[in-house]
Structure 1
Amino acid sequence: MDDKKLSRYLQSVGQACFIRFFEEFSSDTLSRDALIAKLRDQTTYTEKSCASRVSKARSILNAGLADKALSLIASSNSGRVSQEVKEKARSYLVEKQQP
């Protein structure tokens, strides 16, 4: 996955959504359907939107681009990305660096 595709996928998932559900997206124990149901329960997204977000988030992670995605979010200049989301992205990066 190139940088352009990563950015497009991250935009499709939503940076705040990617961070809010990062642990769930990263989980091997949650099935695709269970994760879609969780997003439906905890957000106002449609089922189709949840399915798309899950698919694209997992594609980013399966491509080994979690760190790159987290770095992009942490350094985002977009006014739509809150400071809280940026801080959480930074904390995930720090956690991933620890053995």
Structure 2
Amino acid sequence: MNEDSKKENGYIKSDVKILQDAALVIAILSAIGYYLAFSFEKGYRDFYGIEDISFTNIDITSIINSIYKIIPIALYIIIAYLATRFIIWLIILC
């Protein structure tokens, strides 16, 4: 297949697809981080009996902190899943 037929507006189509996937991952991570930061702030305020919580009370540092705190948990789950799959593959292979 010709290289020019793979291009669309000067970009190779696979490069655009990779960027779309990366953008989707970043958007999902941002949404999860915002949700976790909001949940933490709401729980913190509920514990101390502060009723008023708005979306403006959550800043970028709390979102980034929540993402950094969830990454090790997600990696642990992924590694455990892959290790389990590998062990099952070894059992089936033998």
- Taking structure 1 as the reference length, the TM-score comes to 0.30
> Which has the larger Rg?
2
- The structure with the largest strand share of the pair is 2
- Taking structure 2 as the reference length, the TM-score comes to 0.32
- The structure with the largest helix share of the pair is 2
RCO (CA 8 Å, sep 6+): is it higher in 1 or 2? 1
